[in-house]
Amino acid sequence: MSYNEFLPSYSIGDDCYKEIPYVTRRYGKTAVVIGGKTAMEKAKPELLAALKGSDLEITDFIWYGGDSNYENIEMLKAMPKVQNADMVFGVGGGRAVDTVKTLCDRMDKPFFTFPTLASNCASCTAISVIYNADGTFKEYAYLKAPALHTFINTKIIAESPEKLFWAGIGDALSKEYEVVFACRDKDMTHTPLLGRVLAEACTKPLVSYGKKHLRIAEITFLQRISSR
């Protein structure tokens, strides 16, 4: 039996968007941005600055619809700006990115992700959580591959609400225990074995540095609020 394994790749740092023209160079000349309203507001100036003078053009910034459901996916799929773009940039939190991932999987269109929150791992995974139109859980969508590349702008993430930064630490800390528990007494192939090792690697750095950087995120968020 044969299978495919597509591993996530990423750029990280407060100026990582400058890598966009290089990383995307083989996938075309136009990109449409789809994401959450606040997320796009935060990322738009950085994206436009990073692409200035390059061969890549952003043709539009489109709201994803507010939830990761098939109704919004079909709505986006019908838009000419989405159909005509060479690639899609998914910007925002988990539901926005899951919408883009499932959309591009169905359209067989290249896509790149731009997380603006630390609270989830949607930007680097090949699974989407899909909801019904009334907001209740519907199903998991298992996709053929994750994003071609993820751009993790640490400046934008550091300026997100402190409680979402805290949620991201909690989400990552849970990985080792979830995976070790799920893998007990199982004969595993390469993919789950790799997943277990990566999950185990999450814990030590978070225990060592998590409290310190959560406090920094707290102070940064409070300073931003007080300066308004």
The three-state secondary structure class of 5 is coil
Query: Quick one: average pLDDT of 211-227?
Result: 80
pLDDT at site 106:
98
- The beta-strand segments (E) located in the chain are 10-13, 30-35, 57-63, 87-92, 111-115, 127-131, 137-142, 150-153
Instruction: Give dist(CA 92, CA 33) in Å, integer.
Output: 10
pLDDT at site 10:
98
Higher pLDDT, 56 or 159: 56
Q: Show me where the domains of the chain are located.
A: 10-157, 162-226
**pLDDT higher than 80, residue 228:** no
pTM: 0.93
CATH number for the segment(s) 10-157? 3.40.50.1970
pLDDT digits (tens, 9 = 90+) for 115-127: 999 999 999 999 9
pLDDT at site 76:
99
**pLDDT higher than 80, residue 169:** yes
pLDDT digits (tens, 9 = 90+) for 22-69: 999 999 999 999 999 999 999 999 999 999 999 999 999 999 999 999
Instruction: Identify which of 130, 129, 146, 118 has the alpha carbon closest to the alpha carbon of residue 206.
Output: 118
**What is the overall mean pLDDT for the chain?**
94
Q: Residue 227's pLDDT band (boundaries 50, 70, 90)?
A: confident
pLDDT at site 225:
72
- Evaluated on CA atoms 60, 131, 93, 12, the torsion sign reads negative
pLDDT digits (tens, 9 = 90+) for 175-203: 888 888 888 888 888 888 888 888 889 89
Query: Quick one: average pLDDT of 103-113?
Result: 99
